[in-house]
Amino acid sequence: MSHGYAEGIARGYRNSLLSSSVFASLAQCETLDDLRMQLSATDYGNFLADVPGQLTTSIMAERATNKMVAEFEYLRGNASGDLAKFLDYLTYAYMIDNLILLITGTLHERDTHELLERCHPLGYFESMPALCVAGTVEELYNAAIVETPLAPYFRNCLSAADLDDLNIEIIRNTLYKAYLEDFYQFCEGLGGQTAESMTTLLSFEADRRVLNITLNSFGTSLSKEERARLFPSVGRLYPAGNNILARADDVEQVKGVCDMVPEYRSFLDGPGAGGEANAEGLEDRMFKEETRLNRIETICQFQFGIFYSWLKLKEHEIRSITWIAECIAQGVRDRIGDFVQI
């Protein structure tokens, strides 16, 4: 695929994102059938035309996700060179989640073939069905380090002894740390606008994970040394902020680190900063910042970051449509507007 052709596709994908006026119209719908009719006039088209029986929120979310996957796979199927490798990297995060799902199922002696149906299609890899024949966690580990694209991340940081139920989130974060560092290095090597855009986006993702790991480790058996080993060695908080967070004992110390980056200063402000549930908690604020960064990248031309941002924003768009549909189905219209605008 030529760079100009890829850029043309990128512009088309960017323009497929729903506008705020369309979301305003969706929020006025009274029934799921009204919502289907409104969406049929957008890029989603007739994706719900052949739904058998009654339309449900889960069917709408599944069909929208399948459409997104088909668009991504069309792009990946026509890509070559650096762009093909870049798009492969985008799928690795989904592979990590799918593999963790299979590991968890194996630990709990669940039917892993059934779990395959719950795996995200973007994280599917050719040898995934073969992993389902693993009878033990050790067998699954041995298959994972040989048969999956994630093999280098296992070889460098995990052993079969690590795969137990208590360590499942540690495994996920360890794999994600290795993935982020690898993807960051690859994007740096591409140079130009892609390197500038993607290091910004991946730095934010690394910082978000560092903050979440720190806050979620308070009051647990995770030692400070183990916590530090889960931090990616990239991001705006690295290295000074990460060093402080590795030793942090309370939320106030985390807030002090957030103050080091102007865009992060509001993350722990106001009610709920101590960890209590609130309408605008830490995750919501980080999500808004991620959305802002990705909106910026979708208007930057001649670089690969637009595909990363489109995928992130498309996922968010589907979550927002699903939220509206669920509010309609449950009759809670007073909350129908509680989503982050793209």
Give residue-wise pLDDT tens across range 145-166.
Answer: 777 888 888 876 767 666 665 5
Is residue 2, in this structure, part of any structural domain at all? no
pLDDT digits (tens, 9 = 90+) for 217-269: 999 889 999 999 999 999 999 999 999 999 999 999 999 999 999 999 989 87
- The total of structural domains in the chain comes to 1
CA dist 241 and 249 (Å) reads 14
Tell whether 248 is covered by a domain: yes
Whether residue 28 lies inside any domain: the answer is no
**Residue 225 maps to a domain:** yes
Stated pTM of the model = 0.90
| Domain-located, residue 204 | yes
Specify if 271 maps to a domain.
Answer: yes
The one-digit pLDDT tens for each residue of the chain (342 residues) are: 545 555 556 666 667 899 999 999 999 999 999 999 999 999 999 999 888 889 999 999 999 999 999 999 999 999 999 999 999 999 999 999 998 888 888 777 777 778 888 899 999 988 787 777 766 767 777 777 777 888 888 876 767 666 665 588 888 999 999 999 999 999 999 999 999 999 999 999 999 999 999 999 999 889 999 999 999 999 999 999 999 999 999 999 999 999 999 999 989 876 544 444 333 478 889 999 999 999 998 887 779 999 999 999 999 999 999 999 999 999 999 999 888 777
Rounded to whole angstroms, the Cα distance separating 70 from 77 reads: 10
Cβ-count burial of 308 within 10 angstroms (0-12 exposed, 13-18 middle, 19+ buried)? buried
Q: Name the residue range of residue 242's domain.
A: 191-303
Is residue 73 a part of any domain in this protein? no
Does a structural domain hold residue 293?
yes
* CATH code assigned at 220: 1.20.1690
Q: What SS3 class is residue 136?
A: coil
